[in-house]
Amino acid sequence: MKTRYIPANSETREFPAAALVAYCYASGVRHCFMAYKGRQSRAAYAFGFATAEARDRYLAGVVERETEREDAKRARKEVGHGLAVGDVVYTEWGYEQTNVNYYQVLRVPSPRSAVVRELEADRIEDGPMSMTGRAVPRLGDFRACSKEMTRRAAGLHTINIGDSQGAGRKWSGEPRRVSWYA
């Protein structure tokens, strides 16, 4: 594992709320700082200034931005999915066609995770030969090859399904549009 480069005769300044450690030092006539995020071994910031005051002003701005970023990260982690047992989530995906998959919430082990299983769905065509329609899940009728999956929250009423499907959002009860070929 690489170690951090810490300039000789530098002053260490720690900013835990920003997950930042800065090393302030003088290099010739320049007043410099190097800052590392978290446990990184490569400096996230490395700048030199004509005066120590200019360096400190710039560093204060960096600390403010990084603190806001870390606060937003913490807030996202604390928000649960808000789903309950029996709720249905759906994913929409596809390139030249629109596929919809439905999943039913079986258990909620924590506010940040849910156990889901894929449902069968009825497809209602818009008309003959249209290759478009609407899909509605059949509650309690699980796909034969599907298994229970524990998934993490991605926000309120949203969980990460994974693969190419992305996020599963809480289903409102309205049929979802689908399209297909052949």
42 vs 28: CA distance, rounded Å: 23
Which tokens hold the place of 163?
């693969």
Q: Where are the domains of the chain?
A: 11-78, 88-179
Amino acid, res. 87:
D
Q: What does pLDDT average to over the chain? A: 91
Cα gap 178→121, rounded to integer Å: 11
Please give the structure tokens belonging to residue 42. Answer: 């490569």
CA-to-CA distance for 30 and 27, rounded, in angstroms? Answer: 5
**Rounded CA gap, 67 and 71, in Å?**
6
Confidence band for 76, pLDDT divided at 50, 70 and 90: confident
Residues 7, 54, 12: CA angle, nearest 5 degrees: 30
CB 103 within 8 A of CB 171: no
* Residue pLDDT, tens place only, 119-139: 999 998 888 778 899 999 999
pTM of the predicted structure, to 2 decimals: 0.63
pLDDT digits (tens, 9 = 90+) for 16-43: 999 999 999 999 899 999 999 999 999 9
| Residue 106 DSSP SS3 | strand
Share of residues in the chain with pLDDT > 70 (%): 98
